[in-house]
Amino acid sequence: MVRLPVIDRALAGALLGVAVQLVSGTFHGARATLQRSALVAGPADPGLAVQGAAADTVVDRWLEALSRGTASITSVGDELRANTELRTRIGPFFGERLAQWTGDDPDRLSAAARVSLSMDGARGARGFADRFLVGHPGRSKTFLMDYLRAADRAEKHREAAWAATQLSLISPRAADRARWQSEAAERMLLAGDSAGARAGLRDLARDPAPGARARESARSRLVEVVAGDAASVDEALEEIAAYAAAYPDSIGRTAGHRAQLALTMARARGAAAALRWIEGFIGQDTSVVSDVALAGAAAQLAFYSGDREKALEYSVMALAVATDDPADRARRVELLALVQSSDSSGVAWAGTAAHALFADPENAGPVVEFPTGVAGRPSPGVLSFLAARADRASRQDLASELWSRIVDSHPESAEAPAAMLGLARTAAARGDESARTAWLERLVVEYPQSALAPSARRMLAAGGNSPARPGAGER
């Protein structure tokens, strides 16, 4: 075993305190002790490290915690992931001790594999996993399910995909094999392995054993994956055509795939080309649900193309039947309201800006710059609409520009209080508490009768614990 020079008495005492807290399960207290000590010192003091007998003591206590079962294993893993300094300094030493500690004991091998997922890299975890599977095949299923859960928790998606694949290989029932193959494909997508996910879904779609429903589900998921990739438009066209031919009764699902591909096509080939393509399917069959799905995408594409009349026509059609997704319906209502309240030049400008945010949000330019030829200035409703789109596209810088334009140019508008609330949230997100407080106070003082004033008061009272902005999603 590698021994490093013994550290000073104060640090050794801190480490012993950490050990006592760890063995008693007080992991957050242990973290606080580590932070108070010099163990996790910052860049200004890089020489301090886990050393000597004190490090042995900490690791001994961790190993004892790992012996107590799943809850303790999870807690040790969480602690390692939460503290980069701790993981970096003690990680290699801990890994060495783990290898000595496990022997061929299945419970120890399982614990070592799962906690190693929280270390940097996953090679050590896979090594313990392989040893477990070779030495204890009768317990493979339980181990792999535990390993999959631990990999998900540690966000090691490739390891989760591997575990799901192994579960599919050892499952005797066709339905279980199909389920694990599907789970493996989803983890591959999370890991960025689109090719592996597609291959797995194709294999599942061709396998007769799980049954027709499982095959169709796999084929549909494959179409979704391909249709969402702007680099695979031609492949997606072929996949959708094949799916429609194989499952002629799945009209609604096919329409959903076409709507998805049309929006992807707008990124790759432009909104006008995508609109022409999807218009060829509207009214093709007698399904109102199908037309509603297609019209929802067509309305977006017409808006992106700056075609007010078509955007209005398809927006109305898209609301003919309620969708299963309230957020999607809310966006359709929002688009209809915008188109109805704007003239052709306003729709042209807003559509161009919205398409830039949709097609390439990271490189979208400053949408507050108004192009030459636009009559007048966009209304506060248009600015608010685009700010919401920018916010959902994780472009808070553009959203803030638009909200600021509303506050500066249209302070009397109904959109001004919401703009101030948006500015407060973006200020909080970048850690500017003084700006956050200033915007909230302005909202309360200048718009005391606004429906948002109570929210602003609660956020002021909560201080830095105010609610975060809504998550990003499709516009």
pLDDT digits (tens, 9 = 90+) for 263-322: 999 999 999 999 999 999 998 877 888 999 999 999 999 999 999 999 999 999 999 887
Per the domain annotation, does 308 fall within a domain?
no
pLDDT attached to residue 15:
52
Same domain, 457 and 404: yes
Same domain, 149 and 172: no
What confidence tier does 116 reach under pLDDT thresholds 50, 70, 90? Answer: very high
Cα 37 from chain centroid?
35
Per the domain annotation, does 1 fall within a domain?
yes
Same domain, 148 and 31: yes
What confidence tier does 468 reach under pLDDT thresholds 50, 70, 90? Answer: very low
Same domain, 191 and 95: no
Same domain, 103 and 203: no
> How would DSSP label each residue in 42-54?
-TTSTT----HHH
The domain boundary, picked from 227, 244, 272, lies at 227
Helix 380-392 and helix 416-429, axial crossing angle in degrees, nearest 10: 30
In this structure, which amino acid lies at residue 362?
E
Q: How many CA atoms lie within 13 A of 105 on its CB side?
A: 12
Mean pLDDT along residues 133-137: 96
Same domain, 120 and 170: no
CA distance 475 to 469: 15
Write phi, then psi, for 5 (nearest 5 degrees).
Answer: -55, 145
The domain boundary, picked from 153, 188, 206, lies at 153
Closest C-alpha to 218, from 232, 236, 235, 206: 206
- What percentage of the chain exceeds 70 in pLDDT? 83
Q: Cα 339–340–341 angle (5° rounding)?
A: 95
Write phi, then psi, for 244 (nearest 5 degrees).
Answer: -60, -35
88 token code pair: 């970096």
Same domain, 196 and 63: no
Same domain, 28 and 66: yes
CA distance 402 to 153: 38
Per the domain annotation, does 397 fall within a domain?
yes
Mean pLDDT along residues 173-191: 97
CA distance 375 to 165: 59
Q: Cα 61–85–15 angle (5° rounding)?
A: 35
CA distance 330 to 426: 23
How many domains would you assign to the chain?
A: 3
Per the domain annotation, does 182 fall within a domain?
yes
pLDDT attached to residue 29:
52
pLDDT attached to residue 367:
58
Q: How much is the CA Rg of the chain, to the nearest whole Å?
A: 28
Closest C-alpha to 240, from 250, 231, 279: 250
Same domain, 142 and 161: no
CA distance 36 to 14: 9
Per the domain annotation, does 342 fall within a domain?
no
**What are the residues whose beta carbons fall under 8 Å from the beta carbon of 243, sequence distance 6 or more?**
219, 220, 223, 250, 254, 257
Mean pLDDT along residues 439-445: 96
The domain boundary, picked from 109, 128, 153, lies at 153
> 């590698």: which residue's tokens?
2
Per the domain annotation, does 339 fall within a domain?
no
What confidence tier does 17 reach under pLDDT thresholds 50, 70, 90? Answer: low
Cβ contact 39:15 at 8 Å = yes
Same domain, 84 and 165: no
Quote the domain boundaries for residue 207.
156-227
Q: Look up the pTM and report it.
A: 0.76
Per the domain annotation, does 164 fall within a domain?
yes
- The domain spanning residue 446 has which CATH number? 1.25.40.10
> 């400053």: which residue's tokens?
366
Residue 243 vs residues 217, 250, 292: alpha-carbon distances, Å = 11, 9, 20
pLDDT attached to residue 156:
96
Same domain, 29 and 103: yes
Residue 446 has pLDDT above 70, yes or no: yes
Question: How buried is 172 (Cβ within 10 angstroms: 0-12 exposed, 13-18 middle, 19+ buried)?
Answer: exposed
> 């591909």: which residue's tokens?
261
Same domain, 143 and 123: yes
CA end-to-end span of the chain: 57
Residue 58 has pLDDT above 80, yes or no: no
Cβ contact 236:229 at 8 Å = yes
Per the domain annotation, does 349 fall within a domain?
no
Give the torsion through C-alpha atoms of 342, 347, 350, 353, to 10 deg: 180
CA distance 185 to 199: 9
